[in-house]
Amino acid sequence: MAFLLQSSDCSSEPRFMTLKIRPISGESNTRICLSGQLRSEHLGHLQSEIELRGPSVTLDLEELDLVDIEGVRFLIACESAGVSILHCSSYIREWMLQERGRPKEQPEP
């Protein structure tokens, strides 16, 4: 079963920021293949999919074209929680490394 998420706004023209989520269940784990664009509005649904599939989940990013900053932070959190990431493009991996090294933003007093 694949899920296709499309973002839209109030304008009359559709925006094509689509993410396809395709879970593939194996004997001991589930691989979730992502295609398209990972944006902040998709993270809730993706998090639900990861939780539904249990502890042995792998995210396959081979067909992921674009990711926003919230998506990068989400991927970092997934890795920190033990989710494996496969086929991560070099630009996304580099961005993740940079974000990990960045100090947390301090709220203004």
The 3-state DSSP class for residue 109 equals coil
CB 74, CB 46: distance < 8 Å: yes
* Ranges of each domain in the chain: 3-8+16-101
d(CA 105, CA 103): 6
Tell me the pLDDT of the chain (109 aa) as tens digits.
454 554 444 444 555 558 999 999 988 899 999 999 999 999 999 999 999 998 899 999 999 999 999 999 999 999 999 999 999 999 999 999 999 987 766 555 5
pLDDT for the residue numbered 10: 46
pTM: 0.80
| Residue among 15, 19, 108 nearest 66 (CA) | 19
Residues 6+ apart with CB under 8 A from 87: 60, 61, 62
**Architecture in CATH for domain 3-8+16-101:** 2-Layer Sandwich (3.30)
Structure tokens at 20: 């396809």
pLDDT for the residue numbered 8: 42
